[in-house]
Chains A and B, each alone.
Chain A
């Protein structure tokens, strides 16, 4: 069965600094999708970034980028120039080829002014 692991329950970063959140997953599939979602205190789930497994190039969205290592089954999120509004729970998610979605347990990120 597929699993998603986020080994850092809590992280903190100084404002304007860079932080990396880790995510590893277990699968025997070759075709799948990976996502990072953000959940601020409002509880709304917001897409941060996505990556198709067939693409070798790492996805980037403004201050957010990923380090996708397919062979190692690793999908870390890097947040550059951290801002107070980045404080939230971050979830890594995996979507299988047959449409099941598995989320990791989440990493709570605090941003220190």
Chain B
């Protein structure tokens, strides 16, 4: 089944304890991206990647790191989490700039609920 898999789905952690949220897709997609969802703000893009070793900042990159060493994986790293990073996080992927219809449509993971105490 074509899908984007995020782990963990739920996590409660404490301020300053480094954590990684993994994201993996099995569709050979070029484009991958991370979002955080907060009430009243919709989804805000954190980072995105058009290809291996190519990453760019979204609207809210502060406090986050990403890497794209393999095409299928795009982990989100919180080096020193703070309570304002408590949020629902989504990873998503798409074909990218392929001219085929629907190439830009995002396929989302199920979301990861992160609480930082």
Chain A contact residues, CB within 8 Å of chain B: 4, 6, 9, 33, 35, 37, 43-45, 47, 50, 91, 93, 95, 99-106
Interface size for B (C-beta < 8 A) is 26
By the criterion CB–CB under 8 Å, are B105 and A101 in contact?
no
By the criterion CB–CB under 8 Å, are A33 and B45 in contact?
no
Chain B contact residues, CB within 8 Å of chain A: 31, 33, 35, 40-45, 48, 50, 56, 58-59, 88, 90, 92, 96-97, 102, 104-106, 108, 110-111
Q: Shortest distance in angstroms between A38's beta carbon and chain B's nearest beta carbon?
A: 11
By the criterion CB–CB under 8 Å, are B102 and A101 in contact?
no
Residue in contact with B105 in the complex, picked from A35, A44, A102, A104, CB distance below 8 Å: A35
Task: Give the interface SS of chain A, mostly helix, strand, loop or mixed.
Answer: strand
